[in-house]
């Protein structure tokens, strides 16, 4: 498993784009902040060729404690959902997809 950190991403921006290390880190933070703010407001974020992040509302429901079997209410909440694009799915499965074919 590969863990991708902010510093790793900032270093890749530095190496491939040519910005200074500080500018690369600032750019990454700005992009991540923009994505977070958009999701917090309930809007979706689509990254072409990668996928779509969206927030979904889950209603109140009854769950069970797996140890005791006791019913426990689960309160309504918002959850983050990721839907991969066709391009990403194809790459994972070893094929290729057309760039304009993503969701």
pLDDT by residue, tens only, the chain of 103 residues:
999 999 999 999 999 998 999 999 999 999 999 999 999 999 999 999 999 999 999 999 999 999 999 999 999 999 999 999 999 999 999 876 554 444 4
Separation of alpha carbons 63 and 71, rounded Å: 6
State pTM to two decimals. 0.75
Delineate the domains of the chain, giving CATH numbers in brackets.
1-41 (no CATH), 42-103 (4.10.520.10)
Q: Please choose, from the candidates 103, 82, 86, the residue with its C-alpha nearest in 3D space to the C-alpha of residue 95.
A: 86
Separation of alpha carbons 50 and 79, rounded Å: 20
Name the phi and psi angles at 67, rounded to 5.
-80, -45
Alpha helix ranges (H) inside 18-93: 21-40, 86-92
Q: What is the pLDDT of residue 94?
A: 87
Q: What is the pLDDT of residue 102?
A: 47
């Amino acid at each position: 498993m590969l863990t991708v950190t902010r510093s790793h991403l900032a270093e890749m921006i530095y190496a491939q784009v040519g910005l200074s290390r500080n500018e690369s880190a600032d750019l990454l933070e700005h992009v991540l902040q923009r994505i977070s703010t958009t999701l917090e407001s309930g809007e979706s974020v689509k990254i072409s060729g990668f996928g779509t992040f969206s927030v979904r509302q889950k209603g109140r429901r009854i769950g069970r404690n797996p140890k005791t079997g006791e019913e426990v209410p689960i309160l309504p909440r918002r959850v983050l959902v990721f839907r991969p694009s066709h391009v990403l799915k194809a790459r994972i499965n070893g094929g290729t997809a057309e760039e304009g074919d993503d969701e």
